[in-house]
Structure 1
Amino acid sequence: MDRSTCCRPRTRSGSQASWRGATAFHCGSSRSRATSANTEVIRIARASTGREKVLFFDGKYHGHFDDVLVEIEDGHLVPEEDGLPHDVTTRTRVVPFNDLEALERVLSARDVAVVITEPALTNNVGPLMPDDGFHEGLREVTRRTGTLLAYDETHTQVVGPGGLTRRWGLASDFVTVGKSIAAGIPLGAYGMTEEVAAVLQRPDGRDDDKPQVAVGGTLFGNPLSMAAARAAMSEVLTDDAYAHSQRLGSRLADGLSQVVAAAGLEWTTHRFWPRSGLSFSPSPPRTAAEAMEDFDVPLRRLLRVHLANRGVWDAIVGAGPTCSVAATDEDVDAYLAAFADLIGELV
């Protein structure tokens, strides 16, 4: 994982991940990490359902591959970046997070192979927390329309062993993970139910004439990545380590709230276990569109530069600070002091 967003440079980097398995488990690693896991999940879902399309929620980030690099612009789907196939938008559907009606309208066509989502959107505009009953509705409509469901826990696994899937008791057909499960060594992995995994099984071995699904690669399952993952998940990312990072995250959120309140700003502090941060709005956003209305890119960039100049590295502009297992109370104090300095200057 990248250096902790709540650690000064003198503090060593720490990872936060642990996955305790799905019914069947297939593992792969590559330079693109969780991108490869999500890519293969889509292939398995297409092979399982005979359908072509994939659905994501607006504001998502699931890696850099063609199907996911599509966004809503002025009510239309457009490629996010150059170099993508001209027909990429025909294979992808995007709807607002927390909008079960929009989701059902799209899935009712019964041409979507899989819905891929974080349990809470955390990266580009996050966190966007699910409404009460959202995940139950998501699971019900996917099952009713014959659509598979995948939870991407690459970022949300930071909340503890098993990520939000375990914490919230979610039911899905796939789970994907990456980044910190191997403590910085490239690794992406995914688990799936036995029913879905059947499409990969070849009971008669190599000579089985069953059609093959395009999975695997030269570096997949390599000994270095596997050893790093074993060490990270069994020796580093212990229950005590997660409890430590969660305590620091709560302390950081408390401090951010106090600074904002003292300055008279109507900003919202979000609390996501070890991860904290701010929305420049009086209430938490529910959708990506709401989040972007108050995102204030210049202010986000100013905050990042201000912190960096005072020895605090706040990683991704839209992600918010996360306390790693290596962070300390002194690191939280340093973050809050630098943040308070900036707010004092601005106000």
Structure 2
Amino acid sequence: MSRPQYELSGVRAQLEQSAAGILETERALFASRRPRSEAQHQQSESGLFDGVPQHWMLDWPSPFPAIIETASGVTLTDIDGNRLTDLCLGDTGAMFGHGPEPVLKALANAGTRGLTTMLPSSDAHVVGRLLAERFGLPRWQLAATASDANRFAIRVARAVTGRAKLLVFDGCYHGAVDDTLVDLVDGRTVSRRNLLGQVRDLGEHTVSVPFNDEAALAAALAGNDIACVLAEPVMTNCGMILPDPGFHTTLRRLTREAGTLLLIDETHTISTGPGGYTRMPGLEPDLMVMGKPIGGGIPVSVWGMTEAISDKLHVIRREQSGHGHSGIGTTLSGSAIQLACLRACLEEVMTDDAYRVMNARADRIEAGFKAVIAESGLDWTVSRVGARLEVVFSPRPVRNAAEARAAASDTIEQAVHLSMLNLGYLLTPFHNMVLVSPSLSTEEADGLVGAFAKVLARLTERDDA
């Protein structure tokens, strides 16, 4: 049975009113199923700030965080015995499932061979070769997180170009790198509103422009004073925003004309395929960063560079005096345990077969989501980057952060998220992104679509809810 299409402006108030009621019910249901999690979270003697290891763990729409006992494959079990099918996967930290067998084996072996020595392990040269072969850049370094890797790559870009400024796209997220924590407000680049302890104007050395805006990009680069453009090939933080046809070709041409380096952050878009999004359209970056998923859940990231940058970096380092103190690298970066897990992932986890399974399941989920949205009469879209999907509350794909913010609704997002969680499916707590692991079965993919149908039926207050 076909249903009339709602108009975005006319239905928003109705949907948000319905979502508010759903949230109240779902929060109570969540709490009733997790008395042990609630009690443990509320223990005043906990030495943790706000009772959690990281304060942002309270940003989930649940009344308190579920405390996880075990995580395996795509199954999470909390201390109250509730089981969840995980489509969040640590926001890509466990993109290939929790505890891949090759990584667990590497961890066990590393424990007997030493964890960190501040010297290369026997895996180092193999890892370097694998990274070069897979991602196309010839020279690589390791770090602990993508935030660190981005910091180091930016520092190198500034060193080899002799320029100070960085360009990012409005709505970006590249970890906890100070220079990138900016927003574009009324045409000005300003520090993000909620930053803690911010003591300088980040707009002094960072320029932000809208994604997909070739004219704004050209104008920003015209001064020939930008060291590098740092970009996700597909934006994933303010919502999933795909590049317009030809945008990346223009980005690469304009950066080269301006003598500006192109730094691509593939931390989230590695969901595209074994070589990331960069290997598909041939972006030809000068620098590249990847974090979270590349170590199977172990804190490790990588950053690579062209031969030309490597050569310039050698010259700069030879001109320095003294040992170290370059501002690049930490003692635990490049450790034996990182190299072992990274090698296991590259050789045995991040395989062509794994991506085939991930994309097949994502195909099924995408088709199911679109059918459910159409049946619900909602004029929403589904954005996708390989094994990563997101439902956008807009009748057409959004092209930049301003459009993504206008389409978003915290109330609807939270209601969908918590309803799905109570039905047994964990999505990311922001934008309700779905990340598909090779461990996800066809039945679990279909169950996710079925749960989504139930949630939309309630949200639109249909008779079949």
Pairwise same-fold verdict (TM > 0.5): yes
Task: Compare 94-103 and 64-73 and name the one that shifted more.
Answer: 64-73
Q: Which residue of structure 1 aligns with residue 336 of structure 2? A: 223
Give the AA of the match of 1:28: L
* Structure label with greater radius of gyration: 2
Cα shift readout 1:219-250 (whole Å, capped 9, x = no counterpart): 11001011111111211121111000001111
How far did residue 75 of structure 1 move? 3.2
Q: Which residue of structure 2 aligns with residue 92 of structure 1? A: 206
Q: Where does structure 1 differ by over 4 angstroms across 4 or more consecutive aligned residues?
A: 10-14, 16-19
Q: Which residue of structure 2 aligns with residue 247 of structure 1? A: 360
Distance between the aligned counterparts of 2:139 and 2:215, measured in 1? 33
Cα shift readout 1:279-326 (whole Å, capped 9, x = no counterpart): 111100011101111111110111111111111110241261011121
Cα shift readout 1:54-91 (whole Å, capped 9, x = no counterpart): 00001111110210111123433221212123232201
- 1:109 has 2:189 as partner: no
Cα shift readout 1:93-128 (whole Å, capped 9, x = no counterpart): 000000111011111111110000011112x22311
Q: Which residue of structure 2 aligns with residue 118 of structure 1? A: 232
- 1:307 has 2:420 as partner: yes
Give the AA of the match of 1:279: V
Distance between the aligned counterparts of 2:74 and 2:451, measured in 1? 12
Equivalent residues of 1:16, 1:242 under 8 A apart:
no
Q: Which residue of structure 1 aligns with residue 294 of structure 2? A: 181
Q: Which has the higher contact order (CA 8 A, sep 6+)?
A: 1
1:154-169 alignment, distance < 5 Å: 154-169=267-282
Distance between the aligned counterparts of 1:319 and 1:306, measured in 2? 11
Equivalent residues of 1:69, 1:79 under 8 A apart:
yes
* Partner-residue secondary structure (3-state), 1:289: helix
Give the AA of the match of 1:339: F
- 1:193 has 2:193 as partner: no
Alignment partner of 2:185 out of 62, 65, 73: 73
Distance between the aligned counterparts of 2:231 and 2:251, measured in 1? 10
Equivalent residues of 1:253, 1:277 under 8 A apart:
no
Query: Which ranges of structure 1 fall in alignment gaps of 5 or more residues?
Result: none
- 1:277 has 2:390 as partner: yes
Q: Which residue of structure 1 aligns with residue 400 of structure 2? A: 287
Structure with a larger share of its residues in helix: 2
Q: Which residue of structure 2 aligns with residue 45 of structure 1? A: 157
Q: Which residue of structure 1 aligns with residue 376 of structure 2? A: 263
Distance between the aligned counterparts of 2:423 and 2:208, measured in 1? 40
User: Identity rate of aligned residues, in percent?
Assistant: 38
Cα shift readout 1:127-165 (whole Å, capped 9, x = no counterpart): 111111111110111011110001110000111111011
Equivalent residues of 1:7, 1:312 under 8 A apart:
no
Equivalent residues of 2:135, 2:276 under 8 A apart:
no
1:205-224 alignment, distance < 5 Å: 208-210=318-320, 213-224=326-337
Equivalent residues of 1:22, 1:175 under 8 A apart:
no
Alignment partner of 2:450 out of 337, 340, 344: 337
How far did residue 21 of structure 1 move? 3.7
Q: Which residue of structure 2 aligns with residue 235 of structure 1? A: 348
* Partner-residue secondary structure (3-state), 1:164: coil
Task: Compare 14-23 and 235-244 and name the one that shifted more.
Answer: 14-23
Instruction: Report the count of equivalent residues.
Output: 339
Distance between the aligned counterparts of 1:319 and 1:308, measured in 2? 11
Query: Which ranges of structure 2 fall in alignment gaps of 5 or more residues?
Result: 1-67, 77-82, 98-129, 461-465
Equivalent residues of 2:191, 2:201 under 8 A apart:
no
Q: Summarize the Cα distance change of 1:287–1:318 in structure 2 as closer, same or farther, 3 Å threshold.
A: same
How far did residue 16 of structure 1 move? 4.3
Cα shift readout 1:180-226 (whole Å, capped 9, x = no counterpart): 100000011111100011233269xx9x4446743111011001011
Task: Compare 75-84 and 251-260 and name the one that shifted more.
Answer: 75-84
Q: Which residue of structure 1 aligns with residue 259 of structure 2? A: 146
- Give the TM-score, by structure 1 length: 0.92
Equivalent residues of 2:271, 2:385 under 8 A apart:
no
Equivalent residues of 1:7, 1:331 under 8 A apart:
no
How far did residue 25 of structure 1 move? 2.1
Distance between the aligned counterparts of 1:318 and 1:346, measured in 2? 16
- Give the TM-score, by structure 2 length: 0.69
After superposition, the CA RMSD in angstroms is 2.3
